[in-house]
Structure 1
Amino acid sequence: MLNIGCHLSLSKGYEAMGKDALAIGANTFQFFTRNPRGGSGKEIVPKDAEALTRLVEENNFAPLLAHAPYTMNLCSAKPETRKFAREMMADDLARMEMLPCHLYNFHPGSYTTQELEESIEQIIDALNQVIKPEQKTIVLLETMAGKGSEVGRTFEELRQIIDGVKLQEKMGVCLDTCHIYDAGYDIVNDLDGVIEQFDKIVGLDRLKAIHLNDSMNPMGSHKDRHQKIGEGSLGLETFRKVINHPKLRHLPFNLETPNELDGYAKEIALLRSEYREVVAQPV
């Protein structure tokens, strides 16, 4: 079964997101833990969280994905910004334990005045402060396009962060198709090669989720501008290969394309039509 969803709004509550997902043919989804530009997190009402848990279980949803706000920068040059980011992540991870979605994705961050190595050490330090051995949540580093001074533009940078985290069993990666293409990884012409490279450097066991996004820009542009599926430089054939790849097809896929719910429904239907179920061979 293709595990596919999209980014949904938390404004109406947790159970409402599950119902929206079902209405558009999704069996997973992701959401921002709070306003994507920062701010306080939405209060979790126990009954609402329990209702989402029942809906997820009854409809055999794939793992859900919570997304940290874009403003959470663990390697900011400003100490007060780094402190705020650590506190935000710690609060998010504590709240996640109440929900049936134990994947938490974040952008590693961007630096300005310091060097890359110092920035990576700041991210590692923050993760070692906030990740707890008792948490159920796996924290995912997102692959980045390399816009400006973003950390996470290469698989090597992601591996370096993971290597520095004490509780490495709590760490994983979310691969964004637009981001890695814009970063210079040619998933259009050499998807197998990119997957092999990721496995060699990071390890496919670390890959827990995929963001499905076409790109408005050519490979290596480092611009990070998402496009609707099949309407950008990646093209529909690339997504057909991604969702059917034997090393990826089991993962939860989430769309972050420029769409409203009706547009997401159309893309989900399109991708389901391109998915090929694996038929068990007789023994």
Structure 2
Amino acid sequence: MVNAVVTDLLRRLEQHFGHALKPLTQGSEARTFGTDGLVCKIYGPKPAWPHQPAGAYAAHLEAANMSKAGLGAWVVEAFELDGHGILVTRRFPGHNFEPQNFTPEALKSLQEFFCQLHQIPEMGVVSRQRLEARLEQFGGTLHDLSEAQALVERLEGHLEEVAGTPQAFCHRDPHAGNVLLRDPGAPSNVPAAFLVDWVRACPDDPARDLAILTTGTLDLLGEEQALSALRFIVRGYPDAATLWPRLRFWVPLTYLHDMHWFRTNEPEGFEAAVAEKMPKALRFYWEFPEL
């Protein structure tokens, strides 16, 4: 978005709300501003990334996804303004995930929320062709890393366990920037943990959602605590016995995805990403415990 355009939009939105808008975050798809008690998310008229929703469609899609996830009470309105999509939600009284603020209550809140979310059935099953394409893609990007090649080969042996899994409604991006923890002084009837940024939500394997949660959020607790938290969450699922083994595929695959992302998008951070993520991927796969 051009700065002059954003400035004009903000002026008109401030008139609409009767309050000043302060910048909160600038994500890959939208820019976010806040007032007292409200969050205003602005989607540009053109996609920031190929195949990503934009404009009013993105704002209405995210509002619909939040409602589907049981968060409709947090949605205030979604509308179009000069080709931009505007999503307005109530402001959650919390901040981004930080290990020192992660409480047992927050862990229980995450368990209950993901269990409920993943009970929403969707059409179709996990595609073997899509999984094979991802493995081939990561194997190509990481062609010069022998450990990555060996891991891709091992994961190919698990395709039968994952392909054909019935899909459920998934957030698909529960990294630490999208997981909020309730402020200490907030009302007790507010969830202890809360997920934002629902524009990418769609049908997928619940185990993939939990793998992203693990690598992008729980890992900040340290590997041992992350595994303990993941085990606690999965034990709340009615199909825990079949979900847990699929994580042996999805968690290492997610680490491979992260390394692939750095090589293709931020190559200056690639070596550090490999040094951090490759050992974690290998340990998770080779030391994968019983539930």
Scaled by the length of structure 1, what TM-score is found?
0.30
User: Bigger radius of gyration, 1 or 2?
Assistant: 2
Q: Which has the higher contact order (CA 8 A, sep 6+)?
A: 1
Scaled by the length of structure 2, what TM-score is found?
0.29
- Determine which structure has the larger strand proportion and give its number: 2
